[in-house]
A = this chain, B = another copy of it.
Amino acid sequence: MKKELHFERAEFAARVVAVKKEMSKRGIDILLLSEPPNQNYVTGYNAFSFYTPQMVIVALNHDEPIWVGRFMDRISALMTTYLADGNIRAYPDRYVQSTLSPYDFVADVAKELGGEKAKIGVEMGGYYYSARAHADLVRALPLAEFVDADLLVNWIRIVKSPAEISIMRQAGRIADAMMERTVNTVEPGVRECDVAAAAYHQMISGTPEFGGSYSCSPPNICIGERVIAPHAHWTDEPLAPSTILNLELSGVRHRYQVVLSRTVSLGKPAPSYQKLADVVVEALNTTLESVKPGRTASEIEGVFRRTLARHGFEKEARLGYSIGVGFPPAVGERTASLRKGDETVLQTGMVFHMMPGLWLDNVGITITQSLAVTDGGHEPLTSTPRKLFVK
């Protein structure tokens, strides 16, 4: 069977070392990873199978992580991870959406690793660690001590390696291709769903060199009245001769996601709207120039806020968030945000989606930039011009 690994074995090994180091520091013997991006990060695992219970277990006393999942998905574990066969453990299908708990199976593996009375870290705030999962594990391991290890791996993921940045550049090229294709599709009379379909096609097709993947959340294609509803669904309606479209598109390569948003004005925009766009672009460019290792996320946001304030605007939502490897439902890594009060110190290798979306009473505009922090400042991960597109 052909192995499909996108990083060197040494890189995976270094990731596991970093996770174990942090576990030791916190006195955690066994770490139960329920978050798909964290599972991918430490093992390479990539299949859309985490909607049934699936765990990666990192134990201080066991060399490799152990993947635990559904019987039919063990083949994907063999194909997409470097794990030895013995570290791939599958529960039978009778556990799936039935009255049996797959967490009893997980607990048995933890016991094999000496977990009966261990200190066990779990991802309390993760998307795939339900209240039931926690209750079942606590019941199955009554003598263990459970501690919240949410974001433990996420904070290690926040600094990307050169190999990860290289994949994110490819994702950025896909994002550029998506924006070009989508903007080209926008014409009066085209149905909103057909605009969205063009974005999806390019997302998955990718570029001739780099095939694409599904994004963590659907492209946001918010049109007309919906430009002020950032996560609205498109409709079947044809585009009006004159309307505004907010497009938030994501290029994805080997599960690494790069986000790119632009607003398109179909028909000549009102002067006040063009002015708004100019302000956003100015603030974005000024803020990008301020990105440097050693500055804090909060300081970067302050540059944006002050530039905007000079023009009489303010922004309610955060200015951006850390991005990297991701699975549905969310691209954000849940670590650093570019927002007031976030004292994360920028380091080379961090990657952010800087997203100065403005949603005012009845207009919205979004012109954004994904970037990697570099020794000298930043590297933009997409090359689509930062401007209001007018068609």
Contacts and interface: CB of A to CB of B under 8 A. Distances in A.
Interface of A: 1-2, 4, 46-51, 71-73, 75-76, 79-80, 92-94, 96-98, 122, 124-135, 148, 150, 191-194, 196-198, 200-206, 210-214, 217-218, 220, 225-226, 228-236, 316-318, 321, 328-330, 332, 334, 337, 339, 359
Interface centre among A131, A148, A202, A332 (most CB of B within 10 A): A131
A75 B192 CA distance: 19
A130 B205 CA distance: 34
A364 to B, nearest CB: 9
Contacts of A192: 211
Given A80-B233, A193-B204, A197-B202, 14 more contacts: A48-B231, A51-B332, A72-B316, A75-B229, A79-B232, A94-B339, A97-B334, A126-B130, A131-B134, A191-B211, A193-B205, A197-B205, A200-B200, A328-B329
A231 B234 CA distance: 27
16 contacts: A2-B225, A47-B231, A51-B329, A71-B317, A72-B231, A73-B230, A127-B127, A127-B130, A129-B131, A131-B131, A193-B205, A194-B211, A196-B204, A206-B236, A211-B234, A329-B329
A32 B359 CA distance: 29
Interface centre among A150, A316, A329, A334 (most CB of B within 10 A): A329
A193 B218 contact: no
A236 B252 CA distance: 13
B211 A235 contact: yes
Contacts of A337: 96-98
Contacts of A191: 205, 211
Contact of A193 (B46, B80, B212): B212
Nearest to A236: B211
B129 A124 contact: no
B125 A127 contact: no
A92 B51 contact: no
A212 B191 CA distance: 11
Contacts of A122: 131
A132 to B, nearest CB: 4
A125 B132 contact: yes
B318 A93 contact: yes
Contact of A49 (B4, B96, B231): B231
B229 A73 contact: yes
A209 to B, nearest CB: 9
B79 A226 contact: yes
A203 to B, nearest CB: 7
Given A51-B329, A124-B131, A204 B211 contact: no
Closest 10 CB pairs of A and B: A193-B211, A211-B236, A131-B134, A197-B205, A51-B330, A197-B204, A75-B229, A125-B132, A201-B201, A124-B132
A72 B193 contact: no
B321 A232 contact: no
Nearest to A77: B229
Nearest to A336: B97
A79 B202 CA distance: 29
B124 A235 contact: no
A387 B312 CA distance: 64
A195 to B, nearest CB: 9
Contacts of A329: 48, 50-51, 328-329
A212 B135 CA distance: 38
Given A72-B359, A205-B194, A233 B48 contact: yes
Interface centre among A46, A80, A211 (most CB of B within 10 A): A211
Contact of A200 (B47, B204, B359): B204
Contacts of A235: 4, 211
